[in-house]
Structure 1
Amino acid sequence: MRYLREFRDPELAARLVDAIAAAATRRWTIMEVCGGQTHSIIRNGIDQLLADQVEFVHGPGCPVCVTPLETIDRALEIASRPGVILCSFGDMLRVPGSATDLFTVRARGGDVRVVYSPLDAVRIAAENPHCQVVFLGIGFETTAPANAMALVAARDRGLRNFSMLVSHVLVPPAMAAVLTAPDNRVSAFLAAGHVCTVMGTTQYEPLVAAHRVPIVVTGFEPLDLLDGVRAAVLQLEDGRAELENAYPRAVRPEGNPVARRTLDSIFTVCDRAWRGIGVIPDSGWRLADEYAEFDAAIRFDVTGLTAEESPECRSGDVLRGVIKPPQCPAFGGRCTPRTPLGATMVSTEGACAAYFQFRRLAPAGTAPGAAGPDGGG
């Protein structure tokens, strides 16, 4: 219980841990969908505190991690061209493509810039009218409203030298893909609170009804996660499958109606490839036809570019909750944050990065050496 001293309210944390231990009659498998939740769980030792009651498996909720390889390769191709300024959030620069990454392109003379908002890229386009400025727009429903507003701003300002390479993905279809996989072993989900602040909670109701799986919306602080786990375990022990909002201070059933209307006007649902997983139907957004002129993939004619994943990297199995990072043979050896094979070792939200950073060389609740490369343990 040494970890409890680090919690903001150790007494409440202890009560929640005791409540989960008292309720659980078996070890349940719970998937947290968000990479931010993964890091909070590992950093705060929640998986070790609850090792006898809960096995945490880490879902495809890291936006950097699931950005498909061909999107990275398209960004690399565009950034290598003369007269182009490619703007991106910083954590994308070290994500490996088929042969290199954006850091290397920048070192070779490409104009690759780190921005902190898509509106920064719009400003750069206004300041550099003789350059083509491309923003690498990735992420889940959380980042999509800001990217949508950047497109509106660029259109309203008449910036014909601005475009966006879009690779937005949607959470519920990915959860459905996990649940319908033949190797699925998830008993309940912790849904990402920040996604639900935008989209609301009703999108999860069909999943609960179709798969009889509890889904608890929760935040990212350790106490939020413990409370979400408690709610999920109570449902599982009672044989219930319900959608439960354990993050009411931020999440409403309807989400953010203004943001949702904006998204509906800018994006159209499409099939989307997920890195390490493959194509999931209706799991992404592309630009609506009214904004097709801002589609960088069309503008730079890279839509036909495809790529194949490295067979050595098992990030897809990690993202589907089939294995834990240490169960990949390359983890900590061939694959480290300095020499990553996949995005899950690069991103600040990646499960592999969390396990490496916090020295989790084996999953919680596993005897040393029991978690082999075949996913045993």
Structure 2
Amino acid sequence: MSSSKFIDYSMPTSNLKHKAKAVIKSILTKFEQINRPLKIMHICGTHEATVSRSGIRSLLPNDLRIISGPGCPVCVCPSEHVTTAIKLADEGNIITTFGDMLKVPDHSLMTLNQSKAMGNDIRVVYSVSDAVQYAKENPNKKFIWLGIGFETTAPMTSFVLEKEKLPENFFVLTDFRLVPPAMHLLCNDPEFDIDGYVLPGHVSTIIGTNPYEIFPKKYLIPCVIGGFNSIEFLIALDKTLEQILESDAHVYNAYPKVVKKEGNRSAIESMKNVFDIVDAKWRGIGIIPKSGYELNAEFSNHNARNLLDEPIIVTNDLPKGCKCGGVILGKVEPEDCPHFLRQCTPETAIGPCMVSDEGTCRIRATYMNFQMTTS
């Protein structure tokens, strides 16, 4: 029986330093007992921010690597989505979106910010409800909501479409992606050498634990759902190593205060009522089967793609030399990209992983010199 069985994870938060030292000691003890190099992948931009900002990597042996996976929705947003939005704006439609999307470059390095500077009407909103309200107040103009994100944000759109009386001039350009299919892609990659997954707490809040059960059963890979502060991530890492040490791969919920086995049933039902699951393109990766949401037939009158004469197709959606595809898949580090902190910086991003606050390159650039101490 491993030592983490005896760690009191519920001790008062006022004793965080003691708690951190106890969990780190447990991690180091397990790693020494396992006695081989390990790669643990998280699939969450917020986890990467926590790891980098807290300097967690600096506390771990070099052979215990934390790898960033495809956990940033803005980063995997295909170039076609940006190009399509710009074309729709050029045609006089009004684009509404979250602020992150304004700086995302398409294959030609054109952004919504640049489109806005050229006179197109592109508005940052807080939610899809704001976009619907704009459409109601301006019935003679077409408003397009850029729906982007993972299972976490998709219900915000599905709830509004399902519950509200939608004006005819409101449309949605969907780019929602699903996490488990990307995990399958990774597991079936011949080069896959990840020893365990730390799973995203926010996605798991929506979908629950059940969709992950296949991974330890089929691929024998440990799966631990983790929270977002440094202690919660360390606990998830500790629990992952515990499974490796005991050769007992299973799904463990280390974020039970939020994540339930069945997930958020209302959100799941709403997404089923509004979306079809389709094959979808992930930027830098390609098509992943059954990994995206598209509006179903009932809501096809609000599908912004129907406003186009023909779909926009981009064959090469990353700038020349950009390594974002490898970064997203956890195959290379940001520092391996020739553009990193040269042509591509947080102020002059050319790759999608440098744009979003959840992008691995941007996080690494921001916190690369941070180290954590527990002394």
TM-score scaled to structure 1, two decimals? 0.91
CA–CA distance in structure 2, aligned partners of residues 51 and 38 of structure 1 = 18
- The answer to whether 1:243 aligns with 2:251 is yes
Relative to structure 1, is the Cα distance of residues 112 and 307 closer, same or farther in structure 2, using a 3 angstrom cutoff?
A: farther
What code does the residue aligned with 1:342 have?
A: G
Relative to structure 1, is the Cα distance of residues 138 and 345 closer, same or farther in structure 2, using a 3 angstrom cutoff?
A: same
CA–CA distance in structure 1, aligned partners of residues 315 and 96 of structure 2 = 22
What code does the residue aligned with 1:32 have?
A: H
Give the deviation of 1:348 after TM superposition: 0.4
Task: Give the corresponding residue for 1:291.
Answer: 299
CA–CA distance in structure 2, aligned partners of residues 194 and 152 of structure 1 = 22
Q: Gapped runs of 5+ residues in structure 1?
A: 1-6, 365-377
Mapping of 1:249-268 within 5 angstroms? 249-268=257-276
What code does the residue aligned with 1:199 have?
A: I
Residue in structure 2 matching 1:86, options 80, 85, 95: 95
CA–CA distance in structure 2, aligned partners of residues 38 and 192 of structure 1 = 11
CA–CA distance in structure 1, aligned partners of residues 169 and 202 of structure 2 = 32
8 Å CA contact 2:83, 2:312 repeated in 1: no
CA–CA distance in structure 2, aligned partners of residues 158 and 74 of structure 1 = 22
| Partner SS, residue 82 of structure 2 | helix
CA–CA distance in structure 2, aligned partners of residues 8 and 164 of structure 1 = 47
CA–CA distance in structure 2, aligned partners of residues 263 and 334 of structure 1 = 40
Mapping of 1:1-377 within 5 angstroms? 9-25=16-32, 26-52=36-62, 54-82=64-92, 84-99=93-108, 100-153=110-163, 156-309=164-317, 310-359=319-368
Give the deviation of 1:264 after TM superposition: 0.4
Give the deviation of 1:105 after TM superposition: 0.5
8 Å CA contact 1:31, 1:188 repeated in 2: yes
Relative to structure 1, is the Cα distance of residues 158 and 116 closer, same or farther in structure 2, using a 3 angstrom cutoff?
A: closer
Give the deviation of 1:298 after TM superposition: 1.4
Give the deviation of 1:337 after TM superposition: 1.5
8 Å CA contact 1:20, 1:53 repeated in 2: no
Q: Gapped runs of 5+ residues in structure 2?
A: 1-13
What code does the residue aligned with 2:351 have?
A: G
What code does the residue aligned with 1:330 have?
A: H
Relative to structure 1, is the Cα distance of residues 360 and 308 closer, same or farther in structure 2, using a 3 angstrom cutoff?
A: farther
Give the deviation of 1:305 after TM superposition: 3.4
Give the deviation of 1:185 after TM superposition: 1.5
What code does the residue aligned with 2:300 have?
A: A
What code does the residue aligned with 1:124 have?
A: Y
| Partner SS, residue 135 of structure 1 | strand
What code does the residue aligned with 1:266 have?
A: V
CA–CA distance in structure 1, aligned partners of residues 328 and 265 of structure 2 = 30
| Partner SS, residue 85 of structure 2 | helix
Aligned-residue identity in percent: 36
CA deviations over 1:233-289 (Å, ceiling 9, x no partner): 111111121111000000001001111111100011110000001111111111111
Give the deviation of 1:51 after TM superposition: 3.4
| Partner SS, residue 213 of structure 2 | helix
CA–CA distance in structure 1, aligned partners of residues 313 and 90 of structure 2 = 15
8 Å CA contact 1:60, 1:320 repeated in 2: yes
| Partner SS, residue 107 of structure 2 | coil
Give the deviation of 1:8 after TM superposition: 7.6
CA deviations over 1:156-200 (Å, ceiling 9, x no partner): 424000000001110001011111112212110000011111111
Give the deviation of 1:302 after TM superposition: 4.7
| Partner SS, residue 160 of structure 1 | coil
| Partner SS, residue 103 of structure 2 | coil
8 Å CA contact 2:275, 2:296 repeated in 1: yes
CA–CA distance in structure 1, aligned partners of residues 120 and 296 of structure 2 = 29
Relative to structure 1, is the Cα distance of residues 304 and 92 closer, same or farther in structure 2, using a 3 angstrom cutoff?
A: closer
CA deviations over 1:340-366 (Å, ceiling 9, x no partner): 2211000000000011111359x99xx
Task: Give the corresponding residue for 1:371.
Answer: none
| Partner SS, residue 347 of structure 1 | coil
TM-score scaled to structure 2, two decimals? 0.91
**Count of paired positions:** 355
| Partner SS, residue 24 of structure 1 | helix
CA–CA distance in structure 1, aligned partners of residues 51 and 283 of structure 2 = 23
Q: Which shifted more, 206-215 or 295-304?
A: 295-304
CA–CA distance in structure 2, aligned partners of residues 311 and 183 of structure 1 = 24
8 Å CA contact 2:198, 2:226 repeated in 1: yes
Give the deviation of 1:149 after TM superposition: 1.8
